[in-house]
Structure 1
Amino acid sequence: MSTTTTTRLPIAHLPSAVLPGATVTLTLSTDELRRAVHAATDDFGGRLLLTGGDEQGLGAVARVPNVGNLPTGEAAAIVRVEGRARISAVHSESGSASLADAELLIDGPTTSSTDAAVRELRATLELIAEKRNSRRLPELLRTVQDPGALADAVALWAEFADGDRLIVLRAVDVGDRVDAIHAWARNHLNELQVAETIRNDVSEGMDKQQREYLLRQQMNAIRKELGEGDEDVTNEYRTKLVDLDAPESVKTAISKELDRFERMSSQSPEHSWIRTWLDRIFEMPWGERTDDNVDLVDAQAILDADHYGLDEVKDRIVEFLATRKLRRDRGLDARVDADGERSARGQGSVITLVGPPGVGKTSLGESIARAMGREFVRVALGGVRDESEIRGHRRTYVGSQPGRIVRALQEAKTMNPVILLDEVDKMAAGGWSGDPTAALLEVLDPAQNHTFRDHYLEVDLDLSEVVFIATANVLDTIPAPLLDRMDIVRLDGYTEAEKSFIARRYLLPRQIERSGLQLDEVVVDDVVINEIISGWTREAGVRSLERELGRLVRKVTSKVATGTDTPVNIVVDELTDWIGRRKVDDEVTARTNTAGVATGLAVTGAGGDVLFIETTAFPTGPDSEPGLTLTGQLGDVMKESAQIALNYVRSHADELGLDPDSMRQRFHVHVPAGAIPKDGPSAGITMTTALVSLLSGRAVKPTVGMTGEINLQGQVLPIGGLKQKVLAAHRLGLTEIVLPKRNEKDLEDVPDNIKADMTFHIASTYADVVAVAFEPAA
């Protein structure tokens, strides 16, 4: 508690509050201040009252020990603040100092709780003094014992702002004053501790960096003594550059990077980036080329030895080699014409092998490389959805590397290899990551790829001497601009006779060799092979056939390993014991023996296939209307074909001999298997035939398959993939094919032995289809 005494003293107002214990030099710049100081020294024993800031009812009692002039000549007074006072009244007279009645506030005795608070305050202040390395604060703690005076002294030492000084001035009660200073002390100590933690962390990091720097400098000195320093690395790179057989533009780019590498500190992140770039670019096979095997007879022999059939693609490769041979013989390889156009020597070739799985597209690429005498590299593009996979990543990214084309050249170690771009139809646009098919446009364009630029290397690469071979199952998913740069060669699949020859010549010997058997330890004749082809496989290629032969050979191997006498002779009647039950049944007759079903031909990613179009109809009731229901996962084009077929049948009912009243029904068209998506217009005449069969009650011949698009006028329009469709029909035992007239020329692609087994009916209009599709009327 505080005690009081009443007195009357001169009063003056200052811009800010002052606290007891402070010594202040006041410039006597105002009349009020001059009158108050003179009155204090003349009549009141040097004592006066001071108020500050916005404090009106509370002030400080001060004593003026000295009045004089500053070096500038201004009058000034030294004021020592002694205590607090509560002002009760102010008396002002014109021309003289204002006097105020005030109660002088004197700190009374403290309570036990205040004493405890003071002890905590002193402990906190000691920590602050230690953190700040202060000399004045420990002196205050040692010399000032009174709690109230200590609080005021700490506020003065800490140089509180005006608002904080007012809070301390108003704390007349000693306990409140101690609590206010203690709250400040705790916050200030927390700030000092946080600052010390940050300072220590920074210092520790700097010390660690300095230590690492010194160690690296010592390590560099050791490497230099051992001849392993950066200077030696740079000299090694420069030696490689002198011997490099690369274009001048590439050498210039390498030289600039070497200069940067030499000037750059090894601590810089770019130091390792540039070194990696230099390693990668020196790994390129600059100037390395293999000579083409231009012996056409030898090349043809290699192609024939590796693959049976495939005459078109073999002819294409032999033609390419013949062109190279002729240009070399006539000395045209290194010629550049007068207009600066590139010589045909540098024009690469882009062959695209399109066909179902298992026909030998990938292995044919290896065979082509062997026939040409070039290195072979396979680049798998299936599932690639990032443009950077083709063009490479920018050097600024962590873990960046060249694209697959550059890596293929590095793997081949020549600039003119055969690069197989496998499954090019399986690439997908990656959205924000770019379209890889667009990145291939420059790669596969012979007019542009002599200056191909990879994002990582950032130098021009000449790809014009590379022979690119692309493979695809279908062409539908390849963008038109990319397709325009390709030389399409179709591999439509094998006939049964070709499969039998391939199995006997290539597949069976390979499986026997892999199993560890000798060729004379197992006997598999042509009849057994043909039975496996017809009863266990139904495919355009030979992959499943090789799988079944491998299964058979493994069974034989297990028998031989357990002591069975050799040779083991495989007979047809025992096939199910060796490789299990048959997997393929002849279902055409069973599926088409009722009206409303027709057999169509289609092309899928797995080759040609046979589709059964099923139809039914039911009368419309009060809740349904005449119309069409479609099932079987049909695409938009196939749905439109079904609608066109129904509308054609409705509009030509009289010509087709159908009852017009029968059209007032709801029709359902189903294309098994329902789990497989289907699309395309080539089932138009098949859907029309199925509907006519349903409405007429006449079954379609089980031996007839058909393909062709139909329009609303009944014209039969051309389709694609005729050879694959005919081969699929032959595999299922169909003997008659209805096809559009404009596809008649495509029959030249069908093998002669297949054409000999089948009858082809050419259709210009749907009337031609009706004439051959149905069984004769009874």
Structure 2
Amino acid sequence: MPENTAAPQVLPVLFVAEPIVLPGMVVPIELDDAAQAAVQAAQSAATDGESGTLLIAPRLEDRYPSHGVIATVLQVGRIPGGEGTAAVVRGQKRAHIGAGASGPGPALWVTVTEVDETPSPESGEDVKALAAEYKKLLLAMLQRREAWQIIDYVNRITDPSALADTSGYASYLTAEQKRRLLETADVGERLRVLIAWINEHLAEVEVNDKIAEDVRAGMDKQQKEFLLRQQLAAIRKELGEGPDGEGGTDDYRARIEAADLPEKVREAALREVGKLERSNEQSPEGGWIRTWLDTVLELPWNVTTEDSADLKAAREILDADHHGLDDVKERIVEYLAVRARRARRGLAVVGGRGSGAVMVLAGPPGVGKTSLGESVARALGRKFVRVALGGVRDEAEIRGHRRTYVGALPGRIVRAIGEAGSMNPVVLLDEIDKVGSDYRGDPAAALLEVLDPAQNHTFRDHYLDLDLDLSDVVFLATANVVENIPSALLDRMELVTIDGYTEDDKVAIARDFLLPRQAERAALTDDEVGVTDAALRRIAADYTREPGVRQFERLLAKALRKAATRLAESSEPITIDEPDLVDYLGRPRFMPESAERTAVPGVATGLAVTGLGGDVLYIEAGSTGSTSPGDGSLQLTGQLGDVMKESAQIALSYVRAHAEQLGVDPAVLDRKIHVHVPAGAVPKDGPSAGVTMVTALVSMATGRQVRSDVGMTGEVTLNGRVLPIGGVKQKLLAAQRAGLTTVFIPQRNEADLDDVPAEVLEALDVRPMTDVAEIVAQALYSDDNTGHDTGDDTGDDTGDNVIDVGPVRRAS
């Protein structure tokens, strides 16, 4: 133990509980009243140029401290952000505290003697070895904490006592341990206890690090345990120890192995099962994978139905369900005949692909396009599923959503296959012409692959991301307006046109299909209510002017409801005849108006095709009566499109150029000409009203009326040639419904008459023409208005059809 050889000093004493100050430490100390008195006393006792000196001793509860540290006051000031005062002091030397002494001020003064810490020559080498060992341990601990600046400071310390006193900054030492270091003057002893303490601390740090490492390893272990639990669950299910006694319901791997899946589909499904087994139970990806696997397992990958080989039975089914529609029925029977023939010869597939069909049934509403799909499925012996496309604007509705989206689903095609339960159903794509497009894509473009027989054997849905063979599916699409179907999509389908029904067809449909159905809905029997054929024909002629039979069926339902009401009052059987229709249905909505409309010169009857089928179009021409010569302007009204406006200009130019040939006074055409096409609220367009406009202009200019029983259609050129148009069959049907008897059509449309029903051709005098002047000559009454036709009535009586004015829409 070193001896105290220095002279005693009298210093004010500052007691502190924390921190314990060792020599060499620079620490701030918060000052209370007693501590502040000690600091002030030290500063007062200091001579000029010196810092105040005082003794800092640990405050003990059970005894008076024996040692302290002589320290100098470096700075005194307020605590930042607080109201107290603090002093920054530097420890200098250890000191032994002696007796109390007197001094100025309220501070406590004591006598202190510095402690000599110089080691003896005998123990010098031991102290150096202990210092080297302690430094090594201290540096190891600092490196673990990556305290590089402190490491540099420690490396510069060479004095063993100063090195030991750096432990005053150690946070792992308690106040009692630091007080013990303060009271131990022997450097060797201090280094020994410090080495023991730092070893204990390093051991504790290693244990904590090992615990942290174990925690990290445990988190990794959870993944392994999850996989093991899945395997254990699979083993239990195989042993029949699952929650339901039969291996559970979530064993996707077993379900996939047991399912009849194509090899590539099986491989993709097993990959997803592997992801599911490796994923965390709380991960949302697990739910997505399960939904995908359920969708794949629900699809009938290798399930097909056997087509009917009985062509006669198939034809009977089609005839029993629908009247007419011979083109569609013939096409289905042909399809069945080819399929049966190939099957008998072992040629079930074509180049590895199925022999499905893609047809679009185009026609006006109410002709039975949608219901025909179910009949086709029954005739083929296949499942039927309907996909409504009207108003669809999202491409994902066809191709499906990517699985990364929340709420992703497969497209309607895949869902239709799942609903059907077989890979070769009849899929009806209803209202394909009503598909729209916007920022979400173009569904019609997505249908290109679905409806292409050369591509649909590898159709890939975005959600499934697997090849789906659609080549054996019979696709039937329905449309009202073929022009609204993109040309690229229409090119991939076989077009089957379904035009409107004749009056005889409507009567037969009503008698065989509509009347029994509505009677059953009204709970009526044949013995209670009957409807005569004359009444049905009157309804078709005067109460409806539609190509289909929807309105016809509504009127029948109305009549039967009224009959049921009367039966409730009287039990006498009811027969609805033609004279009774006014009581049951009210007055007729349609009456022949051609004679009334053409009763004045300048009005001609044309024929048009709209989205609702064929229709009659009246074109009126008049003069303003202006006497100013050289006016000759043309005014057009009736919401006409650009093509129809040009047709009017061409018609007027032709009449002016051939005025002498047509018997027209050129002076009349110098006036302002007004052409109007009722109804004015309905947009109209197309070139096929050209001949009708020429006839109306000549009638107006000559004052001769147009025959009331004449209708016409055709595009006209500047030299009077009549060019072909479309929709001949629908226009002739409209002419028959309107009560016309003579129809002029272009000569080049004569071939279209083969598609017109025989009863229509018998009812109409269809005259193919090549020159519009001949049409005018035969369509106008003679000058004496006797009603006799001035033209040569030698036209072809084999029939004729009517031409489309384009996408004209007429008000019903």
Q: Please name the residue that 2:154 is paired with.
A: none
Deviation digits for residues 154-204 of structure 1 (CA, Å, limit 9, x no counterpart): xxxxxxxxxxxxxxxxxxxxxxxxxxxxxxxxxxxxxxxxxxxxxxxxxxx
Q: Please name the residue that 2:497 is paired with.
A: 490
Aligned length: 582
Query: Does structure 1 retain, via aligned residues, the 8 Å contact 2:627–2:671?
Result: no
Q: Give 1:243's aligned amino acid.
A: A
Select which of 228, 234, 237 maps to 2:252.
237
Select which of 681, 695, 702 maps to 2:701.
695
| CA shift in 2, pair 1:80/1:354, >3 Å | same
Query: What is the alpha-carbon distance in structure 1 between the residues aligned to residue 456 and residue 290 of structure 2?
Result: 27
Query: Does structure 2 retain, via aligned residues, the 8 Å contact 1:735–1:757?
Result: yes
Select which of 674, 678, 684 maps to 2:684.
678
| 1:731 paired to 2:737 | yes
TM-score, scaled to structure 2: 0.68
Query: Does structure 1 retain, via aligned residues, the 8 Å contact 2:629–2:671?
Result: no
Query: Does structure 1 retain, via aligned residues, the 8 Å contact 2:46–2:53?
Result: no
Deviation digits for residues 230-274 of structure 1 (CA, Å, limit 9, x no counterpart): x96686322221232222111111111111011111111111101
Q: Please name the residue that 2:663 is paired with.
A: 657
Query: What is the alpha-carbon distance in structure 2 between the residues aligned to residue 632 and residue 228 of structure 1?
Result: 76
Q: Offset at 1:79?
A: 4.9
Deviation digits for residues 441-489 of structure 1 (CA, Å, limit 9, x no counterpart): 1101111000001111110000001000011111010011101011111
Deviation digits for residues 263-320 of structure 1 (CA, Å, limit 9, x no counterpart): 1111111111011111111110111111001100110111111111111111100000
Q: Please name the residue that 1:457 is paired with.
A: 464
Deviation digits for residues 303-349 of structure 1 (CA, Å, limit 9, x no counterpart): 11111111111110000000011011111115x7xxxx335xx1310
Partner secondary structure for residue 624 of structure 2: strand
Q: Offset at 1:776?
A: 2.0
| CA shift in 2, pair 1:612/1:79, >3 Å | same
Query: What is the alpha-carbon distance in structure 2 between the residues aligned to residue 42 and residue 547 of structure 1?
Result: 115
Q: Please name the residue that 1:293 is paired with.
A: 308
| 1:539 paired to 2:554 | no
Q: Please name the residue that 2:473 is paired with.
A: 466
The range that moved more, 233-242 or 569-578, is: 233-242
Q: Give 1:491's aligned amino acid.
A: I
Q: Offset at 1:771?
A: 2.1
Q: Please name the residue that 1:577 is paired with.
A: 583
| 1:509 paired to 2:519 | no
Query: Does structure 1 retain, via aligned residues, the 8 Å contact 2:43–2:53?
Result: no
Q: Offset at 1:679?
A: 1.5
Select which of 555, 560, 571 maps to 1:548.
555
Query: Does structure 2 retain, via aligned residues, the 8 Å contact 1:47–1:64?
Result: no
| CA shift in 2, pair 1:473/1:325, >3 Å | same
Select which of 380, 385, 392 maps to 2:400.
392
Q: Offset at 1:645?
A: 1.5
Select which of 73, 81, 98 maps to 2:75.
81
Select which of 627, 630, 634 maps to 1:628.
634
Partner secondary structure for residue 402 of structure 1: coil
Query: What is the alpha-carbon distance in structure 1 between the residues aligned to residue 544 and residue 359 of structure 2?
Result: 30
Deviation digits for residues 38-90 of structure 1 (CA, Å, limit 9, x no counterpart): xxx99995456xxxxxxxxxxxxx94549xxxxxxxxxx95533579xxxxxx
Q: Offset at 1:531?
A: 1.2
Q: Offset at 1:401?
A: 0.5
Q: Please name the residue that 1:529 is paired with.
A: 536
Q: Offset at 1:643?
A: 1.8
Deviation digits for residues 602-661 of structure 1 (CA, Å, limit 9, x no counterpart): 011110000111122225699996422222222222122122222222222232222222
Q: Please name the residue that 1:760 is paired with.
A: 766
The correspondence of residues 286-365 of structure 1 with structure 2, limited to 5 A, is 286-333=301-348, 341-342=351-352, 346-365=354-373
Q: Offset at 1:663?
A: 2.3
The sequence identity of aligned pairs, in percent, is 55
Q: Give 2:273's aligned amino acid.
A: L
Query: Does structure 2 retain, via aligned residues, the 8 Å contact 1:354–1:474?
Result: yes
Deviation digits for residues 358-416 of structure 1 (CA, Å, limit 9, x no counterpart): 11111111111101000111111111111111111111111110111111111111110
Select which of 417, 420, 431 maps to 1:423.
431
Partner secondary structure for residue 519 of structure 1: coil
Select which of 766, 777, 781 maps to 1:771.
777
Q: Structure 1: which 5+ runs fail to align? A: 1-22, 27-40, 49-61, 67-76, 85-119, 124-209
Deviation digits for residues 128-179 of structure 1 (CA, Å, limit 9, x no counterpart): xxxxxxxxxxxxxxxxxxxxxxxxxxxxxxxxxxxxxxxxxxxxxxxxxxxx
Q: Please name the residue that 1:131 is paired with.
A: none
Query: What is the alpha-carbon distance in structure 2 between the residues aligned to residue 534 and residue 700 of structure 1?
Result: 24
Q: Please name the residue that 1:445 is paired with.
A: 452
Query: What is the alpha-carbon distance in structure 1 between the residues aligned to residue 622 and residue 449 of structure 2?
Result: 52
Q: Offset at 1:429?
A: 1.5
| CA shift in 2, pair 1:268/1:699, >3 Å | same
The correspondence of residues 102-117 of structure 1 with structure 2, limited to 5 A, is none
Query: Does structure 2 retain, via aligned residues, the 8 Å contact 1:24–1:79?
Result: no
Query: Does structure 2 retain, via aligned residues, the 8 Å contact 1:234–1:262?
Result: no
Query: What is the alpha-carbon distance in structure 2 between the residues aligned to residue 286 and residue 765 of structure 1?
Result: 61
Deviation digits for residues 85-138 of structure 1 (CA, Å, limit 9, x no counterpart): xxxxxxxxxxxxxxxxxxxxxxxxxxxxxxxxxxx9889xxxxxxxxxxxxxxx
Q: Please name the residue that 1:383 is paired with.
A: 391
Query: Does structure 2 retain, via aligned residues, the 8 Å contact 1:602–1:611?
Result: yes
Q: Offset at 1:715?
A: 1.1
| CA shift in 2, pair 1:376/1:78, >3 Å | same
RMSD: 3.1
Query: Does structure 2 retain, via aligned residues, the 8 Å contact 1:422–1:471?
Result: yes
Query: Does structure 1 retain, via aligned residues, the 8 Å contact 2:389–2:429?
Result: yes
Query: What is the alpha-carbon distance in structure 1 between the residues aligned to residue 77 and residue 397 of structure 2?
Result: 83
| CA shift in 2, pair 1:450/1:650, >3 Å | same
Instruction: Return the index of the structure with the highest Cα Rg.
Output: 2
Select which of 744, 752, 759 maps to 1:746.
752
Q: Structure 2: which 5+ runs fail to align? A: 1-23, 28-41, 55-70, 85-218, 785-812
Q: Give 1:310's aligned amino acid.
A: L
